[in-house]
Amino acid sequence: METKEVYAERLKTIIDRIEADPSCWEQSTWHCGATHCLAGHAQIDSGKEPNCDTVRRDARIWLGLTQKRADTLFSSRSTIDDFKRFHSELLSGHIGYDQDGYASDGYNRYDYDRYGYDSDGLNANLQTPWLLLQEQTL
């Protein structure tokens, strides 16, 4: 496993590239010719060929992101300022929390979301994955 500094440097390389040439970035599409979203840039930087079927996984692993953080950063609504903010948080080791105690990735310091589920989909009280609960109610 890489260190947070390695992941931060990888993200910074992408941020710098986008700032130097904004035309290489389009957050609403994985890959489109020479234009890529954050995940698309990360996939290419990881040494993988552009592949829309594996881009989220490849980029998430390359940047050392949790699934929830990847969902946030890879969203079509994410901006370069969001990337910079996360980069700063990653380097400082301090993820900002809102007044309710949740970080921008939707989890609290104990790694549970507002509904009591952890990043693996387990409920703190039920210890049953969320998807299994959904299947049981169908």
* pLDDT score of 41: 97
**pLDDT tens, per residue, the chain with 138 residues:** 678 889 999 999 999 999 999 999 999 999 988 899 999 999 999 999 999 999 999 999 999 988 878 888 898 988 999 899 889 888 877 666 666 777 767 777 777 887 887 777 777 666 555 455 455 544
Report how far residue 7's alpha carbon sits from residue 2's, in angstroms, rounded to the nearest whole number: 7
> Does any domain span residue 135?
no
> Does any domain span residue 109?
no
> Does any domain span residue 120?
no
Question: Rounded to two decimals, what is the model's pTM?
Answer: 0.70
Residue 103's SS3 state is strand
> Does any domain span residue 101?
no
How many residues are recorded in the chain? 138
Q: Domain limits at 45?
A: 4-92
> Does any domain span residue 64?
yes
* pLDDT score of 99: 64
- Running DSSP on this structure, what letter comes out for residue 22? G
> Does any domain span residue 129?
no
> Does any domain span residue 73?
yes
Q: Which amino acid, residue 129?
A: P
**Total domain count, the chain:** 1
> Does any domain span residue 133?
no
Backbone angles phi, psi at 6, to 5 degrees: -65, -45
